[in-house]
C-alpha cells in the first residue's frame, strides 16, 4: 500500500514540492555559512519525494544551535515552503482521492518550518520493530 501511495504522491505532489526544496537548498549552498540549511533542505526534498512509510523525528542531542538555525530558516525560507504545503493540501482536500495526500502534506509543515535537529527514519524503526 505504501508503494502505491508513494507513486501517486510523487506524480501529484512530490516532484513539485521536492523541486521547491531543491531550489531552496541550492540558494542556501551559495554561501559557505548557509550550507547546513542547504543540506537540511536536500534531506527534506528526499523525504518529500517518498514520504509514506517514513517520518521525521527529533534528533537526540540537537540543542541551542539547531534552535537558532531553525529561527533563521523560518524567517528566510521555511514559511514559504510551509505555505506551499498548505495551499497544496487545500487543493488536494477538494477531491476524495486527495484527502490522504492533503493530510500527508499537512504533516510535512513542521519539518518545513524547523528542519534542523530532525532526522528522517522509517516508521517501523521509530517504534523499534
Tens-place pLDDT, residues 5-33: 889 889 988 898 899 899 989 998 998 88
In a domain, 45, yes or no: yes
In a domain, 65, yes or no: yes
Averaged pLDDT, 53-80 = 85
The pLDDT of residue 78 is 86
Structural domain range at position 111: 2-122
In a domain, 101, yes or no: yes
Task: Name the pLDDT band for 125 (thresholds 50, 70, 90).
Answer: low
Place of cell 527514519: 121
In total, how many domains does the chain have?
1
Q: Which residues are within 8 A (CB) of 64 and not within 5 positions of it... i.e. 6 or more apart?
A: none
φ and ψ of 9, to 5 deg: -60, -45
The pLDDT of residue 89 is 92
Task: Name the pLDDT band for 94 (thresholds 50, 70, 90).
Answer: very high
In a domain, 107, yes or no: yes
Count of beta carbons in the 10 Å neighbourhood of residue 125: 11
In a domain, 47, yes or no: yes
Element (H, E) at 48: helix 35-49
CA 31/CA 38 separation, integer angstroms: 10
In a domain, 128, yes or no: no
Amino acid at each position: 500500500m505504501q508503494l502505491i501511495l508513494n507513486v501517486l504522491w510523487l506524480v501529484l505532489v512530490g516532484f513539485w514540492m521536492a523541486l521547491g526544496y531543491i531550489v531552496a537548498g541550492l540558494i542556501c549552498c551559495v554561501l559557505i555559512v548557509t550550507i547546513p540549511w542547504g543540506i537540511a533542505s536536500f534531506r527534506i526534498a528526499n523525504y518529500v519525494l517518498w514520504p509514506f512509510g517514513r517520518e521525521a523525528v527529533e534528533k537526540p542531542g540537537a540543542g541551542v544551535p539547531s534552535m537558532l538555525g531553525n529561527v533563521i530558516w523560518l524567517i528566510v525560507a521555511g514559511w514559504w515552503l510551509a505555505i506551499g504545503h498548505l495551499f497544496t493540501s487545500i487543493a488536494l482536500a477538494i477531491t476524495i482521492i486527495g484527502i490522504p495526500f492533503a493530510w500527508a502534506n499537512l504533516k510535512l509543515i513542521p519539518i518545513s518550518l524547523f528542519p534542523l535537529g530532525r532526522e528522517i527514519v522509517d516508521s517501523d524503526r521509530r517504534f523499534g520493530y
